[in-house]
Amino acid sequence: MNKELVLEKTKQFVKERLEGEGSGHDWWHIVRVYNNAADIAKQTKEADCFIVELGALLHDIADHKFGYTDDDRRRIISDFLGELEVSKEIIEAVVYIANNISFKSGTNKHILSTIEAKIVQDADRLDAIGAMGIGRAFTYGGYVNRPMYNPSFNNDTISHFYEKLLLLKDLMNTEIGAQKAQRRHDIMVEFLNHFYAEWNGEV
């Protein structure tokens, strides 16, 4: 098995399936998660970089939001990587990542059992906060036709910061992930302060 070739083919496969996806899980989200995950993995001695990279590339394939089940993801990932002669152990590790890292698992205090899954989950969470997180939140809000802010009800995009985005920095698994998250968190807090000041005509 040629790892470089497998990664190249996986990139092509994921890109074809996700290009143009409008809700914030497009191909560029995958690229950012991949880069962040690879960066954390490089600095984490015990992590298998190849599994982290494959897991990052495939983590949003066949998303449950579009009706896919854990079994669908297992089948799609196993068929694809099996064709490329990736070993059963590696396929299992990648399927585990795709089936276990979503935020919902996090809130249920589901403890991830592999360092590779912890790293990909951190990288996915990093892309939900900071400047990227702000951009994605408003993109998502537009996609589902939600107002950016309404002080008298909470079905708006600003509420999403309090329900999810500001909580993420305390849920990071790795030391390096936590450091990156803190910087991104601070940017969101600054953004929100400025947002209210502008909303009230104070600046």
Interacting residue ranges for Ni ion, rule: CB under 5 A:
60, 124
Q: At its nearest, how many Å lie between ligand ADP and the CB of residue 148?
A: 9
Question: Number of helices and strands (H, E) in the chain?
Answer: 10, 0
Q: Which burial class, exposed, middle or buried, applies to 89 when counting CB atoms under 10 A from its CB (0-12, 13-18, 19+)?
A: exposed
Residue 195, binding choice from Ni ion, ligand ADP, none, Cβ under 5 to 8 Å by partner class: none
Residue 100, binding choice from Ni ion, ligand ADP, none, Cβ under 5 to 8 Å by partner class: none
Q: At its nearest, how many Å lie between ligand ADP and the CB of residue 168?
A: 9
Q: At its nearest, how many Å lie between Ni ion and the CB of residue 91?
A: 20
Q: Which residues contact 164 (CB under 8 A, 6 or more apart)?
A: 103, 128
Q: Token pair for residue 128? A: 């939900």
Considering beta carbons, is residue 131 or 197 the nearer one to ligand ADP?
131
Residue 122, binding choice from ligand ADP, Ni ion, none, Cβ under 5 to 8 Å by partner class: none
Considering beta carbons, is residue 60 or 116 the nearer one to Ni ion?
60
Q: What count of other Cβ atoms lies within 10 Å of the Cβ of residue 135?
A: 11
Q: At its nearest, how many Å lie between Ni ion and the CB of residue 119?
A: 13
Binding site for ligand ADP (CB under 6 A): 24, 102-103, 124, 128, 133, 136-137, 140-141, 157, 160, 164-165
CA-wise closest residue to 32 among 51, 5, 68, 59: 59
Q: Token pair for residue 176? A: 């390096």
